[in-house]
Amino acid sequence: MTEKRETVEELTKAYFEMVSEEPRAKLDLLNKLTALMFREGKLTLAAQTVREELPKLEGVCCRELANVVSNMVKYTCLIGDYDSSIEYSVKAIDLYGELGLVDDVNDVIANTAAVYIYMERFEKSIEYNDKVLEYARFKGDDPAVASFLNNKSIPLKRLGRYREAVECLEESIQLKRSLNKKEELCHSYDNLADTLLTMRRYDEALEAISNSRVIAKEIGDRFILVTLDKLLSRYHRDRSEFERAIELLTSFIDYCKETGRIADIKSAIRERAEMYEKLGDLRSAIEDYKELATIEESLYKESSSSRMAELESSFRLKQKMHEIELLSSKNRELEEARLVIEKQYTELDKVRKKLEKANAALKLRAERDPLTGCLNQQRMYPLLRIEIERTRRYRTPLSLIMIDLDDFKKVNDTHGHQTGDNVLRQVAITFRKSLRKVDYVFRYGGEEFLVLLPSTDLEEAVHTARRLKERVAAEVTPTVTLSAGVGLWEGEDVHNLIRKIDSRLYVAKANGKNRIEISDNGCNSTE
């Protein structure tokens, strides 16, 4: 008698009926529910469900929470939200690290390497793959070695390092055969065929496709089969058999649309459009370029640079449509067409330069406080997490200084807000002149600043705080003093670390201001 399989609707009902006092059980059920959504191709629904529910369940560091966050690396990547995918990766590594789950940390690093492939940061992907591959070989974990070799081949191929890619894939295939890993074996055959097609080693590529197709039919994996259609379309394209190539690509595109794998179809639509052009079917080519622009715009909507992405997508579409329209205008004189193209490209180049300038301004605005030029809170939390992870990995010290200007309201009341703003700018300049290039200064809010000191012990941090205090008193006009709390990272998460340092600042203010309070392994000392 076969066991009844639960549906998404049944799991959803069970999840929302579960009492909130059981967070670990709810997290486990949330993971089970969203994993089922993922298997059924409901990627956007899985990601959105976790986004809405996770803030309600983050009170305790546990494996169930880490598992949910780890899966979000995959969900958000596949719907094209790469920024969120990297953020979830950092968070998952933090959680598994706090729990001492080294193998799980390694799995998240492997998934992060895959995200960097989607982001086309191939050198970074290889760097992450090498880390997990080294760990898997050290443990003698052959299934993991086979998987990571396969993954490493992808960025190698994208960088044109074909021989290295083929070597990785051949070793991966050999291991997976010995382990009888059929689905994983298909993926390695697919990647091998992809690389061999690029190298124009067609007979070997067709053999790899054939081997993969036999296994995919045996295990009933439709996604692998349509992926093979996409690979086979390249073979027919190279032989100028465009109608057959378009037919195979369309099969792949339709399946990805059905299952919500939007991030997987951009290259396929672009290839199909190019083949429509070669066939002279300009109307179909334009429709594909329009669809491609729409997809690219939607993929960037949740990014901080969404407006810039929309402009760039529109720019590329207009450029391509312009080229096609010129090709289809049979009644134009060649010289006139040349002049028009030259003029259009001059205008497009101006647009490109404006886009680059706007992009730089957007990035600066997103990361910097406009008054002081210091990094803002939006940039602060990711950088703190990165430095904590580096500190944990290399066992180096990490110190923070929380600073507040004393009686700053009097400056505004006495001299006016314009002078107050100028004082804040002077203080920020003084801080930056007094710190190392590797240090960070954030405007925490109002007249509060946070200074992050990597590879700095408590004694050095206190010395730095004194230097900042003395220079502000000597260099800023009208004269202001500051109070500061200084502390060392001792294994806390970001929020508890800031809370600890802020509490020392509070003591400094309560003890008369114009002073520094130090937190040292739970024992407080003052100066």
Tell me: the pLDDT tens digits for 189-237?
888 988 998 899 999 989 999 998 999 899 898 888 888 898 898 899 8
Whole-angstrom Cα distance, residue 479 to residue 222?
72
Query: Best-predicted range by mean pLDDT among 32-41, 161-170, 310-319?
Result: 161-170
CATH class of 377-526: alpha beta
Whole-angstrom Cα distance, residue 205 to residue 198?
9
* pLDDT at 323 (0 to 100): 43
What does the domain layout of the chain look like in residue ranges?
7-119, 265-367, 377-526
Give the largest CA-CA distance in the chain: 86
Give per-residue burial for 500-525: e unless 16+ CB within 10 Å, then b. bbbbbbebbbeeeebbbbbbeeeeee
- Which structure tokens are listed for 502? 């802020």
Averaged pLDDT, 147-163: 89
Exposed / middle / buried, residue 387 (Cβ in 10 Å: 0-12, 13-18, 19+): buried
Query: Is 14 within 8 Å of 32 (Cβ atoms)?
Result: no
Instruction: State pLDDT tens for residues 475-506.
Output: 999 999 999 999 999 999 999 999 999 999 99
pLDDT band at 56 (very low <50, low <70, confident <90, very high): confident
7-119, CATH topology level: 1.25.40
* pLDDT at 123 (0 to 100): 92
Q: Would you call the peptide bond into 478 cis, given omega within 30 degrees of 0 as the criterion?
A: yes
* pLDDT at 479 (0 to 100): 94
Is pLDDT of 342 > 80? Answer: no
Return the bridge partners of 405, or none: 482
